[in-house]
Structure formats: structure tokens, C-alpha cells
Amino acid sequence: MHIRLINPNSTASMTSQALESALRVASAGTRVTAVNPTSSPVSIEGSLDEALAVPDMLHEIRKGEEQGVDAYVIACFDDPGLHAAREVAKGPVIGICQAAVQVAMTISRRFSVVTTLPRSVPIIEDIVQAYGAGHHCRAVRAIDLPVLGLEEDPETAERLLIEAIERAKVEDRAETIILGCAGMSRLCERLTEVTGVPVIDGVTAALKIAEALVGAGYSTSKVNGYNYPRQKGQGTASAHRQCLAVNG
């Protein structure tokens, strides 16, 4: 099977790191490739970044469909454009936040999320709630370090993550920790070892779920909600613009 990992931002080094994490857990016979757009934001740190990144990400999925890709992993913890991606793709599309949450609820009763910037906290809280896991999530904590800072200052990033996880263990009574950024994936095993609590990386969780779904023969339902987008002629768009001009 062929699984395509898509990093929606344009930082190639982050794409390479996520690919390394995915390859560590990929089964024999699974081909994993990774891509990122070149014109999207260098990091996704808010709703505007998400909106700007989604069109290029969907373009990458369309290219994957032409190449026969079996499933996709969206390597951004905000799961940007996830529902739109599922309309485009025949095979499963897995967001790393949803995958991590599902794993956390399977191996523990309560979890906390540790992410990068405070501005990401309400976004992640809303996503977790939308996935039906609000009761299980004890807290979303931020280490107040930009996404690119994970690569620029890895020692500080690791120290801040360890401190946040230790607080979550005591203050949140968290039984597992989810890393709230794909750029943290390389630290997963180290953080588990140091803190003694299971730490979940969404990239590896999503890769294994994608493998399982493809292996079991499941594909994205094309009945109603995730059906392929309707093809619309240029006349429809032109008429809509004219209507707006008249009414405006």
C-alpha cells in the first residue's frame, strides 16, 4: 500500500522529520511518501494560516489520487481541511489530531494535550470537543514556543515539554499526553522515557490507523457527506458574481 503524508505548511525540514517518524513504525510492504506545498505558510499557527494552507494541500491530494495513493495523513495538529480532503480522496484521510485522540481514549481514561503557542489552545479545545473527547481531555497546555522554535532550539523545546508533561501528570491527573504539533514527533519516545507517562505522537498514530483501514479494505464513503465535489460550470460562477454585483 502507498500512504502519502502531507505537511500543509511549506517547511521541508518539518516534512522530513514527520516522514522519519512515520517510517519508524511503518509495516513491511508499506510505502510512505511525504510532500508539502511550497507556497503555503511556513508554519500553521492559527485559523488564517490554516485557511491559506488548505487549497495547496487539496491540490496535493488530487495529485495523489492521480498517482494511485491509497491513504493520506494530514500532518498538522489542527487537522486543517480534513472534511474537504475526504471529499477529494477515495481512500482514508487521517488527521493527526483525530488519530491521537482516538489512541488516547483507547489506552487511557484521561489525557492532556501539550502544544506550542497559547493561541493554539482554544483551537485545539474546540477540535477535541468536536471529536467527542471533551470529557476525556483534562487540559490543553502550551509551552509558549513557536512551531519553528521546535527545530531552532530543540534543547529548550525538550525542556519545556518535559516540564509541561510533569505538570499535567500532577495537576491534570493525565494518564496519557498528546503532542499537539507534528514538529514534536521526533521527541515522542524520549518524552515517554523521561516522564514515565505514555506520550502519543499523532503522526505515528495516524500512519498506523491508515495502514489498518487500507489493509481491511475500507475506503472513504461517497454516500452524501463525503461524496466527490459536484462539478460546476463557469456559467454558474459567472451568474453568481453578476447577482452579487447587482445586489451589491
pLDDT of residue 195: 96
Burial (0-12, 13-18, 19+ Cβ within 10 Å), 151: middle
- As a CATH number, domain 2-95+205-226 is 3.40.50.12500
Distance, C-alpha 2 to centroid of its chain? 18
Which pLDDT belongs to residue 238? 53
Do the Cβ atoms of 32 and 99 come closer than 8 Å? no
Amino acid at 218: Y
Q: Distance between the two ends of the chain, CA-based, in angstroms?
A: 51
Same-fold call for 2-95+205-226 versus 97-202? yes
Give the burial class of 106: count Cβ atoms within 10 A of its Cβ; 0-12 exposed, 13-18 middle, 19 or more buried: exposed
Ordered by start, the domain boundaries in the chain are 2-95+205-226, 97-202
Per-residue model confidence (pLDDT) at position 81: 97
- Residue identified by cell 505538570 is 167
Q: What gap in Å lies between CA 73 and CA 76, rounded to an integer?
A: 9
Q: Among all chains, which residue has been given the C-alpha cell 522519519? A: 20
What CATH architecture is 97-202? 3-Layer(aba) Sandwich (3.40)
Beta carbons of 141 and 75 less than 8 angstroms apart: no
Entry pTM: 0.91
- Determine the Cα–Cα distance for residues 119 and 177; give it in Å rounded to an integer: 19
List per-block mean pLDDT (blocks of 10 residues) for the chain, which spans 248 residues.
97 94 96 96 93 96 97 97 97 98 97 96 96 96 91 92 97 97 91 96 97 98 96 62 43
Which segments of 43-118 does DSSP mark as H helices, in order? 47-66, 82-88, 96-107
- CB of 76 within 8 A of CB of 44? yes
Give me the pLDDT at residue 237, please.
Answer: 52
What is the predicted pLDDT for the residue at 244?
A: 41
CA-CA distances (angstroms) from residue 207 to 75, 93, 158, 164, 240?
10, 10, 24, 26, 41
Backbone angles phi, psi at 119, to 5 degrees: -65, -20
* Burial degree of 112 (CB within 10 A; 0-12, 13-18, 19+): buried
Which pLDDT score is estimated for 242? 47
